């Protein structure tokens, strides 16, 4: 794939990773692959903004060679230290040891502790500007969006924002721009990205959106470090972030469960019938056969999370633990929760799930529902009624 022109003299020189299926170690399923976007600006100073994941260094350098000799790179901006963006830096520095590296103070500390390179670092802050010749860059620090070192780079002459991971999507595609890829897929992946990475930082996202708005800078194009570049409609992803970060929701429920001998499964199906009979859209997930990241993504726009497990060893099935742990870390904004399950002699699953839901910041929407051994038809009706009551709570808030 050749370099792709964004604007005159500004090129995408990154890499498409069609094979990436697990990100951040094994915890983030990237079922559509990803891209590592780095950008080359050819001006009086040849500038590279971000690099790519380490195994793709050669591919990026090949792309750069089609434009300029990489040894001529003067400036390298590292918006974010994480290896999927800085991993190719040592290879670039071998070819262009004279290059100055522009990054935040935390970025410098992080790069030193990753690569131990004796390189020429220039620490920048919000408001620092850097002339490249005809054009310039300015920087906006964005601590904890999503690492302490994170920052955005802005090119005012083209109203081009390069915000690294913000507004990104794990999406491998043949084309680089938002108008060339199915919009529904782009937004699905942007939502998955937000829910599984940025969710717990939503308050900071809102503040950063406000800060950037107050700067009153035009944004004609957003070139993130993963996925497609927003050139047709950059407002779409900014509006979506505003919505997700503020915890807006649709009348929708997510039911997550697992089962030993089918009783909790029967309860789950009856509960879903009840919720749906109140016209509240619902997704049912049996956790042992489903992907946690997809469930979290559904929660991004659902009001209600219902979790079910039979009692075992006075607690819930351990297969639910990774999901409940993830939830506790991601802290979904402004969500209701409820728990249910079957039991034989002692209870315990429902209480333990409720404690986890509350620890994750959810508000319990009602009493948990517990049924002894195998539910009979009357008890299944009480499951439906329990679901209906939860759904009415959701609808009452509309």
Partner 1 sequence: MEKWECEVCGYIYDPAEGDSSAGIKPGTPFEELPDDWVCPDCGVGKEEFTKLD
What is the Cα–Cα distance from 267 to 264, expressed in whole angstroms?
5
Separation between Cα atoms, residue 276 and residue 281, nearest integer Å? 6
Choice among 43, 50, 59, 82 that is catalytic: 82
Residue 20 φ/ψ region, left for φ over 0, alpha for ψ in the -120 to 50 degree band, beta for the rest: beta
99-128: contacts with partner 1 (CB under 8 A): 106
Among the options 146, 154, 278, 343, which is catalytic? 146
- Answer yes or no whether residue 148 interacts with partner 1 by CB under 8 A: yes
Binding segment toward partner 1, per CB under 8 A, in 201-209, 245-253, 290-298, 388-396: 201-209
Give the residues across from 302 on adjacent strands: 250
Stretch that binds partner 1, among 16-24, 114-122, 143-151, 242-250 (CB under 8 A): 143-151
**In sequence order, what are the residues at sequence separation of 6 or more whose Cβ sits closer than 8 angstroms to the Cβ of residue 12?**
3, 4, 5, 6, 37, 38, 39, 176, 223, 229
For position 165 contacting partner 1 by CB under 8 A, the verdict is no
Confirm whether 170 is a catalytic residue: no
Q: Using CB under 8 A, pick the residue from 42, 144, 187, 276 that binds partner 1.
A: 144
The answer to whether the beta carbons of residues 228 and 184 sit under 8 Å apart is no
Residues ≥6 apart with Cβ < 8 Å to 286? 257, 258, 259, 265, 268
**15, 52 Cβ separation under 8 angstroms:** yes
CB nearer to partner 1: pick between 133 and 143: 143
Candidates 29, 33, 133, 143; binder of partner 1 (CB under 8 A) is 143
Q: Give least dist CB 49 to partner 1, A.
A: 21
DSSP 71: G
Q: Is 201 in the site for partner 1 (CB under 8 A)?
A: yes
What is the DSSP code string of 187-198? HHHHHHHIIIII
Catalytically annotated residue among 43, 189, 226, 257: 226
Q: Which one of the listed residues 17, 84, 298, 370 is annotated catalytic?
A: 84
* Residue of 123, 159, 204, 276 that binds partner 1 (CB under 8 A): 204
- The distance of closest approach from Cβ of residue 114 to partner 1 in the complex, given in angstroms and rounded to an integer, is 17
Instruction: Between 110 and 341, name the residue whose CB sits nearer to partner 1.
Output: 110
Measured distance CA(134)–CA(150) in Å, rounded? 26
Catalytic annotation present for 149:
no
- What values do phi and psi take at 38, rounded to 5? -125, 155
Q: Which of 193, 199, 316, 343 is catalytic?
A: 193
Return the bridge partners of 4, or none: 12
Q: Write down the least CB distance from residue 143 to partner 1, Å.
A: 3
Interacting residues with partner 1 (CB under 8 A): 106, 141, 143-144, 148, 201, 203-204
Query: Which residues are tagged catalytic?
Result: 24, 80, 82, 84, 146, 165, 193, 226
């Amino acid at each position: 794939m050749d370099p792709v022109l964004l604007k005159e003299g500004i090129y995408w020189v990154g890499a498409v990773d069609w094979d990436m299926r697990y990100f951040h170690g094994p915890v983030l399923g990237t079922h559509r692959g990803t891209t590592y976007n780095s950008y080359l600006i050819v001006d009086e100073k040849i500038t590279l903004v971000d690099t790519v994941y380490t195994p793709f260094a050669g591919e990026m350098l090949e792309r750069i060679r089609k434009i300029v000799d990489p040894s001529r790179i003067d400036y390298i901006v590292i918006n974010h230290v994480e290896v999927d963006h800085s991993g190719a830096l040592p290879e670039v520095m071998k070819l262009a040891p004279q290059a100055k590296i522009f990054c935040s103070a935390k970025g410098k500390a992080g790069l030193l502790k990753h690569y131990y390179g004796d390189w020429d670092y220039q620490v920048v802050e919000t408001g620092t500007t850097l002339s490249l010749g005809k054009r310039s860059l300015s920087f906006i620090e964005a601590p904890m969006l999503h690492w302490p070192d994170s920052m955005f780079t802005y090119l005012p002459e083209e109203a081009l924002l390069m915000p690294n991971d913000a507004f990104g999507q794990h999406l491998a595609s043949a084309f680089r721009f938002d108008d060339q890829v199915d919009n529904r897929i782009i937004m699905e992946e942007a939502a998955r990205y937000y829910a599984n990475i940025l969710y717990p930082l939503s308050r900071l996202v809102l503040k950063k959106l406000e800060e950037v708005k107050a700067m009153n800078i035009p944004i004609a194009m957003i070139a993130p470090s993963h996925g497609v570049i927003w050139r047709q409609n950059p407002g779409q992803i900014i509006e979506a972030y505003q919505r997700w970060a503020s915890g807006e929701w649709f009348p929708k429920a997510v039911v997550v469960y697992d089962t030993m001998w089918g009783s909790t499964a029967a309860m789950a199906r009856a509960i879903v019938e009840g919720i749906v009979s109140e016209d509240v859209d619902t997704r049912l997930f049996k956790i042992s056969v489903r992907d946690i990241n997809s469930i979290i993504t559904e929660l991004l726009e659902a009001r209600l999370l219902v979790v079910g497990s039979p009692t075992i060893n006075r607690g819930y099935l351990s297969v639910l633990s990774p999901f409940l742990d993830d939830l506790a870390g991601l802290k979904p904004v402004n969500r209701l929760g409820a728990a249910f399950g079957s039991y034989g002699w002692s209870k315990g699953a429902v209480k333990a799930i409720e404690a986890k839901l509350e620890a994750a910041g959810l508000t319990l929407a009602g009493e948990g529902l517990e049924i002894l051994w195998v539910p009979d038809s009357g008890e299944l009706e009480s499951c439906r009624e329990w679901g209906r009551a939860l759904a009415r709570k959701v609808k009452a808030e509309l």
